[in-house]
Amino acid sequence: MAGHVGRIDAGESLDPTPYFDGQWRRLERRTIQAGSSVEFSADVEEYALFVITGAGEVETGDTRRALTPGTAVTIGLDSRVLVRVGEEPLDLFITTLCLRSGSGGGC
């Protein structure tokens, strides 16, 4: 497999399947606007979120943690987390791994 060196700007994604043999399905930069929230639901995919800029909090069950630049959040299969954004946009790098594909599954 060939490697890849490149840039992923905010709002862009990269299909990593030409470069990896495993379950990697998407690498993306996503900006979540100030004051909003996004739920990540790992029904068929697992995620890792890396905070590039901005601040907010992540909620999983009864636990809340601060999100600041450099924070990493892992979202394992069958988990859900809610990301709440503070007063400035939150810029994330997100990796997605497909674990359940086919018959009604996603990926």
Q: Print pLDDT tens along the chain (107 aa).
A: 567 787 888 889 888 888 887 888 899 999 999 999 999 999 999 999 999 999 999 999 899 999 999 999 999 999 999 999 999 999 999 999 998 765 555 66
pLDDT at 6: 79
The pTM assigned to this predicted structure is: 0.85
75 CB burial (10 A radius; 0-12, 13-18, 19+): buried
CA angle, residues 57, 51, 61, in degrees to nearest 5: 35
Q: What is the C-alpha to C-alpha distance for residues 87 and 56, in angstroms, rounded to an integer?
A: 8
What is the model's pLDDT at position 67? 97
Instruction: Give the architecture-level CATH label for domain 13-98.
Output: Sandwich (2.60)
Q: Which of 76, 29, 79, 74 has its CA nearest to residue 54?
A: 29
